[in-house]
Amino acid sequence: MDIYNAVRRKANIDTRLAPQLNDINKWLEKLCEAGWSTLYEPTPGEEIRDRFILTLCSSWQKQLIAEYGDTVCLDSTHNTCCGNNDEKIFLSTILARDHVTGHGVRLAFMLTNQESHYPLEHFLKWLRRACQFTPNMIMIDFSNTEALAIRKSFPNLIIHISYCYWHL
C-alpha cells in the first residue's frame, strides 16, 4: 500500500506542475511551439454529444515515420480513461519496429471518445497530411472498423492489411 500511496502522491504533484495548461488548447499550443503536430476538434456531426478527436505526433516521431513508417501496427486500447461526462476514452497508437533495437517505437497517438471508423479515418488522413505517412503494410487487431478506416484513408494506395494472429 505504501508504493500505491507514493505513486498517487507523485501523480498528484505532477498534474499540478502546470496549472496554466488546464485548458487543452493552451497545452496543444505549447506542444506546437515545441515542434509537435497536433489536432483537436469535435467530430463533425457529433458536436452536440461532445465527441472529439485529439491527435499528437512529436517532431522526433515525424522523423521516425519517415524512417519506419512503411510497416506499422495500429493498436487501439479501449477504456483508457473517462472523459468529462464519464464516457469511455479510446487511445489509438501507430507503432513500428525499430530496425536497430528491434523494440517497438510509438509514431503517433489519437484519443477519442467515439467508437467507430470515423476517428481512425480522420487520424490516418491527418497523419498522411501532417506527417507524410504513407505505409505499405499495417497490422491491426481483427477489426473491421480499423480495416474500413485504413481503406477509406488511403483510397489510392495499395496497403496490405495484416491481422494480428493473437486476435484471430
Residues of the domain holding 82: 24-167
pLDDT the model gives residue 76 = 87
Strand partners, 161: 138
Asked whether residue 3 is assigned to any structural domain, the reply reads no
pLDDT digits 0-9 by tens, 10-22:
555 544 445 555 6
State how far the alpha carbon of 162 is from the alpha carbons of 26, 58, 142, 145, in Å. Answer: 38, 26, 9, 14
The answer to whether the pTM exceeds 0.85 is: no
The answer as to whether 102 is a domain residue is yes
Residue 4 has pLDDT above 70, yes or no: no
SS3 content of the chain, % helix, strand, coil (to 5): 40, 30, 30
pLDDT in tens, 46-57: 666 778 899 999
Q: Is the pLDDT of residue 7 over 50?
A: yes
* Domain harbouring 163, CATH code: 3.30.420
Q: For residue range 89-132, what is the model confidence (pLDDT) as tens digits?
A: 999 999 999 999 999 999 999 999 988 899 999 999 999 999 99
Instruction: Give the three-class secondary structure for 75.
Output: strand
8 A C-beta contact, residue 103 and residue 97: yes
pLDDT, mean of residues 68-84: 85
Residue in this structure with the C-alpha cell 515515420, named with its chain if needed: 65
Sign of CA dihedral 17, 20, 25, 28: negative
Tens of pLDDT, residues 23-47: 788 888 999 999 999 999 876 666 6
The answer as to whether 6 is a domain residue is: no
Number of domains in the chain: 1
Establish if 4 belongs to a structural domain: no
